[in-house]
Structure 1
């Protein structure tokens, strides 16, 4: 009996080792974001892969191919950010695509080119690396850095960047990924892979409603007054933003930061449900806190800030601006963001 148990344990161990080796070989040939990497390339798109009928470029960015050398007379902007910038909506409706079309056709401006370098699941620590490694060699005139207040503050913290134990095993990482998919996604969700092989649905729910509410509730601490975690984490985020600013200054590049609002700042219904589910009292809720702190600190450093919160709040009574149970903008939200940026960037492009 003991021999059988020992044989079973050895066989199980060998199978685990075999699967682990196979997963590592597979990831070596076909890199995937399921498995841990030290840098932002873990989440980079696969070059030339499909996203709602649009082919990612040779660098894995959701944009057309670009030349390293800038066309003389062209004003080059590089857009950096997370999945908002990469774009959950199809490429033609992405806010940077729409913004480029608008600015390019303004007779008062030189021809404007926007290169989208958005990578899903990235945050300010990654933005610094992306700008250093990939944006600066393109000699841009402006870096348009999109900061999503919903998670960019939290994901700048030292705690969030500690490597989790299960990530050391590819098998455990696979099991965790399957668990997340099975427990998180709704039956009719279509944005699982942000376009890879799916038909885009602007009104389909992505996550299970309770799962989405859990995510928003976890993020809500950034709206809590006198919250020590927020105060610590926002300083971590600002430290990276200041490094990016100093880097741009040394190169003579204009840095503009766009602040992207979380849905619970805009959708009062969602905000009430977050307050009911969490421990944060309504009296302690400060809807503008993360935007205000980031804006004030960046403006002290002479960094222009385009805060989209008021524009989105002003339209909260109209058609939805976010995909259901998904913190990303729908097509309408992308249009609102593009129009707001197009109203403020021309003076920054023309100015000193």
Structure 2
């Protein structure tokens, strides 16, 4: 065989080996951002190796081109990421690389090893209203209902930084106020009714374990006289179950908090994350249309309201105890400091609306739903564990207002309306006014 033919065969075989390598990278798929970056770097190096083997230039010149090109790319990359290191840019805000289920992919959030994530200090944004159920149904945002959201030095919804507060409110998104203007927040209303300073330490996405950490780190240093703990029957249970797994993953990650924040703000991650965003048009979750009703308000105007599919999900005894344990710990912390402690039960929308005369359950699926006696179970378990814990169920007051034609829940969302915030604040106010705090034993 001629030498030229031999070299040609070797070249063809080598080229086939590289094609197989690229094929392996392509067909293995991409499951996460790290996998994507591994594939991209591998493909880049394979391409240069192929170029070096077949280019009609000396190998040394090919190597020089590789070093110059790679060096230029790395230099530009360092400049772009350096802007993140010095805090000049957050690529989440520029690229909007939001990923469902990844809280830190959203602008204005920072990593916290204990809380998992929290809002950045003094972060502020303006956004048009879009309900969480409405989003799943592909109902577009309403630009006429824009709300300005702002946070204090610790990432909570307070109009100003607080050094002290007579009342501290702990909870999740119901307390933080989902698209609720500052003046209509439950804590703003409660402050007006009580004539006292109220700190809003509600945080969306938090469960009982995180709320206990919030009380320790941010609530108790405010030296309150009263702590109100809002317990939501919806995702407080799933959040309690998931917390240990999430914190274990956070600890095992091994990165310092600073590098966690840098990674989520970085150009590398946010450009990569764009490839994981759905590129197709919004596809409505048609199953949610089965969970709806017609609400007749005080002016006899009917409107369609939707319910979350998880609203009547049963709760096991183990999950119930796991979710309530942090509350008992919080009660003990308050009792040791002579702080009054009140638990407010926050119900799901269906629990409030399901049996009202002015609410018509319009589908067979929603008519099959049944509510449990969870508010009573929670009250009994708390009383058995610590009789000194005060308790108020917000369900009757929200139900009475809704029966009178006042929509207390947003039609296409699981949270309260402005009126729902008002009713809840008035109910907690009455509980604090009417109930006599249990006399605490003297400190030893």
TM normalised by structure 2 equals 0.57
Deviations 1:220-270 (A, max 9, x none): 223xxxxxx522211111111111111111122111111111001112289
Tell whether the 8 Å contact from 1:258 to 1:305 is kept in structure 2 after alignment: yes
Q: Match for residue 402 of structure 2?
A: 316
CA distance in 2, matches of 1:245, 1:180: 48
SS in 1 for 2:336: helix
Structure possessing the higher radius of gyration over alpha carbons: 2
Aligned residue number for residue 329 of structure 1:
416
Distance 1:24 1:37 in 2: 22
Which residue of 2 is the match for residue 73 of structure 1?
A: none
Deviation of residue 119 (structure 1)?
Answer: 1.0
Asked if 2 retains the 8 angstrom alpha-carbon contact of 1:151 and 1:219, the reply is: no
Kindly indicate whether structure 1 or structure 2 has the higher relative contact order, using CA contacts under 8 Å at least 6 residues apart: 1
Identify the match of residue 240 of structure 1 among 313, 326, 333.
326
CA distance in 2, matches of 1:39, 1:181: 36
Q: For 1:1-352, list aligned pairs within 5 A.
A: 1-7=16-22, 9=25, 13-15=38-40, 30=90, 33-35=103-105, 38-40=113-115, 42-50=117-125, 52-53=147-148, 55-69=150-164, 76-88=166-178, 89-104=180-195, 112-157=196-241, 159=242, 161-163=244-246, 174=273, 178=277, 216-222=308-314, 229-268=315-354, 276=365, 285-287=370-372, 289-300=373-384, 301=386, 302-317=388-403, 318-348=405-435, 352=439
CA distance in 1, matches of 2:382, 2:320: 12
Q: Give the direction of change, closer, same or farther, for the CA distance of 1:254–1:24 in structure 2 (3 Å limit).
A: farther
- Spell out, residue by residue over 1:258-285, the C-alpha distance to the aligned partner (whole angstroms, 9 max, x if none): 111100111228995798279xx65xx3
**Matches of 2:280 and 2:389, distance apart in 1:** 39
- The structure where strand makes up a greater share of residues is 2
For residues 431 and 415 of structure 2, what CA distance do their matches in structure 1 show? 22
1:34, distance to aligned residue in structure 2 (A) = 2.9
Quote how far apart the aligned CAs of 1:185 are.
8.1
Conserved 8 A contact 1:83-1:121: yes
Which is worse superposed, 27-36 or 136-145?
27-36
Any unmatched runs of 5+ in structure 2?
1-15, 27-35, 43-73, 93-102, 106-110, 127-146, 254-262, 286-302, 440-444
Deviation, structure 1 residue 4: 3.1
Q: Report the Cα offset of residue 152 of structure 1.
A: 1.0
Q: CA deviation at 1:176?
A: 10
Mapped to 1, the partners of 2:186 and 2:118 lie a distance apart of 20
SS at structure 2 position matched to 1:146: strand
Q: Structure 1's 253 and 330: CA in aligned 2 closer, same or farther, altered over 3 A?
A: same
Say if 1:95 and 1:335, in contact at 8 Å, map to a contact too. Answer: yes
Q: State the SS of the aligned residue for 2:310.
A: helix
Q: After the TM superposition, which of the residue ranges 239-248 and 4-13 deviates more from structure 2?
A: 4-13
Matched positions, count: 302
Post-superposition offset of 1:56 = 2.1
CA contact (8 A) 1:55 1:62 kept: yes
Distance across 2 between alignment mates of 1:57 and 1:249: 27
Deviation at 1:332, TM superposition (A): 1.4
What is the alpha-carbon distance in structure 2 between the residues aligned to residue 346 and residue 303 of structure 1? 16
Counterpart CA distance in 1 for 2:279 and 2:230 is 27
Shift of the alpha carbon at 1:165? 11
Q: Cα distance, 1:53 vs. partner?
A: 3.2
Q: TM-score, normalised by structure 1?
A: 0.71
